[in-house]
Amino acid sequence: MEVLGHYNYWVFAFLLTIGLYAVIAKPNLVKKLLGLSIFQAAVFLLYISMAKVEGGTAPIIQGGAGEQVYSNPLPHVLILTAIVVGISTVALGLAIVVRIREEYGTIEEDEIQAQDRDR
C-alpha cells in the first residue's frame, strides 16, 4: 500500500498530459475542448485526492460522535464550483466553435489558418 499511496497523483499526471496532448496536437477544435475537459478533470482529481483523510468521511457533521474524522471541506468547495464553471465555459467554447464552423465551413485548425492566409 505504501507504494500505491501516490497512485492518485500518478493518474493525475497522466490525465493532465493526455488532456494537454489533445489541446496542443489535435487540429480539431471540438477535440481540443474535450482535451481541455480532461485536463480540468485531472486538476479536480488532484484537489479531491489531497482532501482525503484516512478513515475519514464526507464533511457532513453527524450529531453525537465527537471523534469522527472528516475529510477537508475546502478543496471540495473549490472543485464543486469549478465543475459548474467548467461546463459553462465549455458551452461558451462550443458556441465559438459553432460560429467558426458557420463562417469557415471547417473546424480543423490548419484549414482555418490556411483560409486566413489566403484572405
User: Which residues inside 45-104 make contact with another protein, applying CB under 8 A?
Assistant: 45, 48-63, 69-92, 94-99, 101-103
Measured from the CB atom, is 13 or 115 closer to another protein? Answer: 13
Cα 66 from chain centre: 36
Kindly determine how many residues on this chain lie close enough to bind another protein according to the rule CB under 8 A: 87
Q: Which three cell numbers stand for residue 68?
A: 469522527
CB neighbour list of residue 86: distance below 8 Å, 6 or more residues apart? 37, 40
Measured from the CB atom, is 69 or 116 closer to another protein? Answer: 69
Minimum CB separation from another protein for residue 116, in Å?
17
Residues of this chain, 3-32, that bind another protein according to CB under 8 A: 4-22, 24-28, 30-31
Minimum CB separation from another protein for residue 96, in Å?
6
CA–CA separation, 48 and 42 (whole Å): 10
Measured from the CB atom, is 54 or 116 closer to another protein? Answer: 54
CA–CA separation, 68 and 82 (whole Å): 28
3-state secondary structure of 1: coil
Measured from the CB atom, is 110 or 118 closer to another protein? Answer: 110
CA–CA separation, 25 and 30 (whole Å): 13
